[in-house]
Structure 1
Amino acid sequence: MTHDDPAHAARHRALPPVVCYPPETLTPPPLEMYRAARATAKKVAEVRIPAREARCWEAPAGTFFRLSSIEGPQVGDLNLWNARDMTERFWSGKTRALHGTHVTTGERMWSTFPYMRPMATIVTDTLDWYGIDEHGGSVHDVIGTRCDPYTHHALSGGDMYHHCCHSNLTRAVADHLGVPLQEAEPHVHDVCNIFMCTGFTRDTGQYFMKASPVRPGDYIEFFSEIDILGAMSACPGGDCSTTHSSDAAQCHPLLVEVFEPEAGALDGWEPPAINGYDRTHGRDG
């Protein structure tokens, strides 16, 4: 049942939107310092992520990590944790509230309460030219959750698909930590969909995907604000033009590279402090 418009319907629809969390008062990242340090940084590690699989890597505070398309259009599901304390992890919801549904150069990956601080800053994005298209689509979204076997089972009642990004990330974390899958799975969280082109339909507000514009040579690069443990899955949907859980989609590997700046390149920089909010909520003692 749909109710008829009340008398005030048109007036309320015409009201201007108000941004909930204006980011202008946030301390801006020192991008010029980061870029100067990156210019002379040396590669110290790389991890190749096979198609339909996931891998972990570490990027200490003050280093850079680059996520690249190397063989064909491919999207990746990214998780980040504090490498010293995995209870601090990337929070897609707060990142979305502060920066919008899709992230790009100069924007930051924020961590969960009670830490709530920048974990990583985007210093370069070769797909920043895409912007927002006529359908409302853009790249590097922080609105999707990740393809997973639980939703697949709820929708189809069929057998589990074990190369969903959730499953891939779970196996990668279990292998990296040397723990059982059941212990690793709770660490896996909502992702940043790297290179994925997504948005919401205008008529129903449903999450949609379309072919990613990513091509070999495209990359997004982050500065590690804290000690990072990262994991990324090369999504079984390939460029996600038709599906995001399939053995039929054409998929490609992704590459992670870690770069270390020269000594002194970041003089004066310090990792961001844990959020200063008083957790006693005003209570004494």
Structure 2
Amino acid sequence: MVRRLTLSILAGLAPFAFSAAQAADYSPPPVYAPPPPVEEFAGGWYLRGDIGFSNQQVDSLWNTNYNNFSSVTNVDKSFDAAPTFGIGIGYNVNDWFRVDVTGEYRAKANFHGLDVGRLPDGSCMSGPPCYASDRYTASKSEWLFLLNGYVDLGTWANITPFIGAGIGTSRNTISNFGDFSTCNDSSNCAGSGGSDAYAGSASKWQFAWALYAGVGYKVTKNTTIEFAYRYVDLGNAQSGDIARFDGTNNYYNPTEFRHLTSHDLRLGVRMNFDAFDTRPAYYAPPPVYAPPPVYQPAPVYPPLHSKG
């Protein structure tokens, strides 16, 4: 009786043992883990183009004729706004620092100046005080070449604020210079430089430097639109030798423009060289799965019968 009971239990457990053995041999399909996302970095070289407007100032004017006056006051020394046009090539060193070299033509800005000078007492026939004024007109233009570095301060919604600085050189040109003098004592104006005069064009190379602040907006992976403010120090400039309209000139006396600066507003576009990359895009290979396991049917055993 005990033997029959034992054999019956073993026969009933046999299918479960076979299934367990089959399950032990089962290997789950491999799980494909996608590669981590590649951090986007628009590295490498880029081209840039910029347009803008200048807002220029000059600290002071100087002419050797000022020595004829006991005092001279610059009443007006202003420039009209003028367009600027620039191109450049640069390199993204990493995702926060970039450098570029730029060349820029700064178009002619009209200049308006007015000096009032007091002549020494006793130099006027009508008695003191005796004043003379000089009204100036001119045009100023530059070729500006800079090596610049920029620090990008982070990106939010494709907008990247940045700051920068640059050093280089500027070729400053003064042209169409005119000097129109008047005096409150006409009998003595000729002796103190009171007349109309002109000067030819003159150019001067000067050390230049600049500071930048702006924002860039990433339109596509390889194209960024940039809006920036720039402060630029252009050094000095001077006119040609000033002569009267009759061509006479007793000495060399150009007018000097001392310490020229400008507050510029600029709109630019940066185009990464990656835009011209013709290599095919890389895609991860599809995952490979193991075939599903094949299960064998459990054996069926006949019931055991006792001999007794």
The structure with the greater share of residues assigned to helix is 1
The structure with the greater share of residues assigned to strand is 2
Larger radius of gyration: 2
Which range, TM-score by smaller chain?
under 0.3
Which structure would you say has the larger RCO, counting Cα contacts within 8 Å and 6 or more residues apart?
1
TM-score for both structures, normalised by structure 2:
0.20
